[in-house]
Structure 1
Amino acid sequence: MNKLIIKHIGIVPLMLLSLAFTASESQAEPVRDNIGVPIQDVKPTKLSYGKNILTDHRQRTTALEIKVVGSAMTKLYFSKIVLPKGAYIEISDPSRTEVYLYGWRDFLRTDARHGAQIFSPTSISGETALVKVVFPHGVTPTDNDIVYLDHYETRKKDQSKGIIDGQDERIPSICYKSRDNGFYQRSQATAFAAIGGYGTTWAVGNKNFMMTNNHVAGTNDALANGEIWFNYRADICSADNSTNNIVKIKPGHIITAGLSDWKDDYSLYALDQFDYKNAKVKALFGGLRISEKRNSIGDTLYIPQHGNGGIMPQKIAATKSGEACKVLYFHDPDHKGTRFNCDVQPGTSGSPALSQDSNEVMALVWGSSSDSNVGVSSWYLWDKVKSFIPADTNVNVPGIGDVLSAMVSIPSATVAVSAKSFNNDVTFESFEDQLVVHYGNANNGYSTMVVEGKDVVSGDIVPVTYRLAVESSCGIGNLTQSCASSSGTKINVSYKESDNLLLAADIATTSWIPLKVFAASDGHLAHGLLIKIANTHPNGHPVEAKNVIGE
């Protein structure tokens, strides 16, 4: 294996494009023709590479490591990929808590906005991204193979503070769990959007609809290499950077989009159907209802958002000067624009401004000016998109509550991988539409689950069977296990060829396994668990050479 290492000791943030200002109530009649500026995020730092990472065409596996000290995420941009069908690219972090697989069909999903046809895989959180080009058995490398990395982008967390008139009163979403579970649970439907621009997005209703601003995601080119981060929230209230359960979902296609002027700055789009369906996006994270009524001055609001000038775990703005933040006035006589005093920051563009009473969306956050922040009024937004969203699907859908996530990389058919550990006694249950068969018993056995797998090379959807086993002091048993164990509980995942006789030996697949997790003590639904699987299948994976180049 050829291994190249690139390291940087730091990154320099760029200038802030525009700041969000905190509004305070004014006694004077507001100037309604000053709409302000969109709450755009700070651009990432772009670092050029400009090389074919395949330096030795005899190698069946070539690896590249990119490390930028202090970076919160790294996103790669490839301008040319020429590989034989059957070869694939793996992107991961060093601990393999994130692993993403891409084949030739993915390489066709390009974005022309960068001045060339660019393919960009899902970003890697943290300082280090690993790229591996794999030629499985039966696929021969050639001198014409090219994987040309044009450049990569890095971002820091919390690059700037833009609250000017007063104190930033936003707090991590998790802190509302004990105060008002309505705010916490409804905010699950809001996600970080890394698409054409960086902003915030949210799920609409009970079908595959997502909403944000047009200046965040207005074209299919923007979506082609984008990603949506659900569950990008702090795990504990005292540490807002403790984000261990992010779920990254591919966007799909634009359904309809307005213009980038303030009142029509909206974009309705769908998520990738495979991810949406198999990751149980609506069941786990919920969806929001767009209110069809006009707002009133004094209506109280709260805004779940991901803005801070850099990438930021979700916070909620619900107060201003110790009181509930609220609608201050309207931008125009028709009330198409709603002005409010909830705190926002660069990166908040596209957030939902929700009613503190009904939890319905009252405005689509757009921008700010010196005396207030502003969003597209929900009644006007609904009028623009209602022909694309059936009225009976525009409903509030509560998420499951706390969602835990795990990544499982399976290069071996014989080893069971521990997907997640729980300190407390828990039991597991599948969703209603999943095919599960229990073998053995609760203390000595396993369960099989048939899920959809996406063939990385062909893009075909194939059935894949995995074995799930619950491990505790009572033994290793099937999903029916309920054990009073002082040592906690683990859920293990394994892949067996004997369970998958119809799958080709050289296939690489990605899958999702969603589960419900219940507290064994009283049986209440404690968590949702979402396991993503990258299965490179051992018979199709070459033995890696150990050559290392660079340091």
Structure 2
Amino acid sequence: MRRTFALLVGVGLSLSLGAAGIAAMGGGADAPPQVTGLRSAEQQPVEKAKANEKAAVRVPVKKAERPGVVWDRGAEEAGRVETTSTTLGYLDAQRQATFRYPGAEYVKLHFTRVLMLPGDYLTVSTPDGTESHRYDGNDAEGTWSMSVTGDTARMELHAGPLDLLGLGATIASLGVTVDKVARGFTREERAAKSEADRARKSQGREESVCGSDTKADAVCFRTTDPVLYTRSKAVVRLLIDGTELCTAWRVGVNNRLLTNHHCLETSAQAAQTEVWFNYQCAQCGGYDVFRPTKVWASEVLATDATLDFTLFSVENFPLVQHYGYLSLDVRAPQVGELLYVPQHPSGAPAAITVDEGNGNCQIIDASYDGYAKDTDASYYCDTEGGSSGSPVLSRVTNRVIALHHFGGCPNSGVRIDRIYPKISTLL
């Protein structure tokens, strides 16, 4: 009887609130996603890789960056969006669907229609259920799901028993529809993109790898330089709007992260942004990676286009708090000061660039022009597309002295002593 009453109330409520979604089913495939705050209520991160676990494949890609001293804005491309029309529903409709894109790094669904009965819910998971995200209620329409790692996502509508009371036709109009899928590049697509980037370089565009590439997997420093390895744990990968990449990092003990303004500008954009903690290789030079702990970005607290920074928070902060944080070095950098840059180059698992005695990763110019005069410090530390937003740390203090944002050899980051006055009261 309770289910019957809930069914009557729920159908009426679903139809009154969701009629617009039903009417729009045929025409939403080409519209940009508008995230209104859908969040996963159930997450099952795996913080340590098992010996036989292969959560993703690491295929680093180099990106031809900005020519001369005029740079384009925007995040690195991580994948592509595929169109589909898949519906789960009630009565005789299917309750499960599988989306598989062989070789893709991740899969992420976009809901164009969500009309469920009270108490029912939706899950998007890996086929073995080791990563699962749950969605309750009908406010998910027009939003993206949290991605699942790997090339296959399984969507399932979990519904209780029905007592139709003559409402069969109405019940049949309810359900969940996916109109597009964002998925990561395959190994072949990454290789093709890398080849295109090399072609651009041959036409005069410089990459941000300056000379020989001195980046190494963060895990390579676990025993040789544990301070660097520990600092890299606070550095995260951003997956923005399904297919774009940047880097960010925790600043201070509270729920605060920094990235570039050209990566993330508004809270509306934050609602479409995944934050991946612990996305690192399990072994130095290996291909197996830890399954990342994923949370949503929450609120943009401060942003500045000229200094190219954004301060933001995340949801489910206790879930990621133990990964640690970085501290700021609020002073003018010194020419010749040695540096290191933990980052997610091309969206790959965490890597670190450090000076290896060749003089590359050190301050070259402490008063370098960014989007305004003397805002930046320049260096030849190797970075790639997707490294935007990375912390630049002093080897002397192990604190962040700049926020990386430009390639071009020299590369450059906005000086922290320029940014700090604008965020000090928010940290």
TM range (shorter): 0.7 to 0.9
After superposition, residues 64-143 of structure 1 pair within 5 angstroms as: 64-104=97-137, 107=140, 118-137=142-161, 142-143=171-172
Q: Could you tell me which residue of structure 2 aligns to residue 447 of structure 1?
A: none
How many residues align? The count is: 341
Q: Which residue of 2 aligns with 1:379?
A: 417
Contact 2:127/2:153 (<8 A) preserved? yes
Q: CA deviation at 1:157?
A: 6.6
User: What is the CA-CA distance between 1:387 and the residue it aligns to?
Assistant: 2.7
**1:194 CA drift (Å):** 0.9
Q: Does 1:179 align with 2:224?
A: yes
2:363 paired with 1:318: no
Partners in 2 of 1:143 and 1:288 — Cα distance? 53
> Secondary structure in 1 aligned to 2:281?
coil
1:265: Cα distance to partner? 1.4
Aligned counterparts of 2:354 and 2:74: Cα–Cα separation in 1:
18
Q: What corresponds to 1:146 in structure 2?
A: 175
Q: Which has the higher strand share?
A: 1
**1:493 corresponding residue in structure 2:** none
**Aligned equivalents of 2:95 and 2:104: distance in 1?**
24
Deviations 1:41-82 (A, max 9, x none): 125211111x2512x531587111011111111111112212
* TM-score normalised over the length of structure 1: 0.58
Q: Which amino acid aligns with 2:310?
A: S
The equivalent of 1:192 in structure 2 is: 237
> How far 1:322 sits from its partner (Å)?
3.6
Superposed, which structure 2 residues align to 1:226-375 within 5 Å? 226-239=273-286, 241-259=287-305, 263-272=306-315, 275-277=316-318, 279=319, 281-282=320-321, 284-308=322-346, 311-319=347-355, 322-323=358-359, 325-329=361-365, 330-332=367-369, 335-369=374-408, 371-375=409-413
Which letter maps to 1:316? I
Write the distance in 2 (CA, Å) between the matches of 1:164 and 1:255: 32
State the Cα distance separating 1:225 from its structure 2 match.
Answer: 2.8
Contact 2:380 2:411 in 1 (8 A): yes
Q: Identity of counterpart residues, as a percentage? A: 23
* SS of structure 2 residue aligned to 1:235: coil
Deviations 1:147-189 (A, max 9, x none): 2212111113772375554221100001011111110001110
Post-superposition Cα deviations, 1:136-155, rounded to whole Å, max 9, x if no partner, equal 34797912213221211111
Q: Distance in 2 between matches of 1:357 and 1:21?
A: 30
Rounded Cα–Cα distance in structure 1 between residues aligned with 2:361 and 2:238: 24
Give the distance between the partners of 2:186 and 2:86, measured in 1 at CA: 30
Structure with the higher helix share, 1 or 2: 2
Are 1:45 and 2:80 an aligned pair? yes
Write the distance in 2 (CA, Å) between the matches of 1:347 and 1:194. Answer: 10
| Aligned residue identity for 1:128 | T
Q: Aligned partners of 2:413 and 2:270: how far apart in 1?
A: 23
Question: CA 1:297/1:68 → structure 2, altered by over 3 Å: closer, same or farther?
Answer: same
Residue 34 of structure 2: aligned partner? none
TM-score (norm 2): 0.74
Contact 1:39 1:349 in 2 (8 A): no
RMSD: 2.6
**Is the 2:149–2:291 contact (alpha carbons within 8 Å) kept by the matching residues of 1?**
no
After superposition, the C-alpha distances for 1:235-267 in whole angstroms (9 at most, x for unaligned) are 11130x3113421122211111122xxx42111
Is the Cα contact below 8 Å between 1:39 and 1:346 reproduced in 2?
no
Q: Any gaps of 5 or more consecutive residues in structure 1?
A: 1-15, 23-30, 109-117, 390-551
Q: Which has the larger radius of gyration?
A: 1
Report if the CA contact (8 A) 1:19-1:39 is conserved: no
Hey, what's the Cα distance between the residues in 2 that align with 1:312 and 1:305? 9
Looking at structure 2, the residues matched to 286 and 125 of structure 1 have their Cα atoms a distance apart, in angstroms, of 23
* CA distance 1:244–1:164, change in 2 (3 Å): closer
- Cα distance, 1:104 vs. partner? 1.5
The 8 Å contact of residues 18 and 38 in structure 1, kept in 2 or not, is answered as no
- Other structure's SS at 2:230 match: helix
Gapped regions of structure 2 (runs ≥ 5): 1-60, 198-206
Secondary structure of the 1:175 match is helix
Tell me if the contact between 2:80 and 2:182 (Cα under 8 Å) persists in the aligned partners: yes
1:18 and 1:176 map into 2 onto residues whose CA distance is: 25
Q: Do the aligned residues in 2 keep the contact of 1:91 with 1:100 (CA within 8 Å)?
A: yes
CA distance in 2, matches of 1:347, 1:42: 8
Between the aligned partners of 1:131 and 1:291, the Cα distance in structure 2 is: 46
User: Distance between the aligned counterparts of 1:138 and 1:293, measured in 2?
Assistant: 66
Say which SS state the counterpart of residue 217 (structure 1) adopts. coil
- The residue type equivalent to 1:269 in the other structure is F
Letter in 1 for 2:354: A
Deviations 1:357-384 (A, max 9, x none): 1111111111112x31111111011122
CA distance in structure 2 between the partners assigned to 1:139 and 1:188 by the alignment: 51
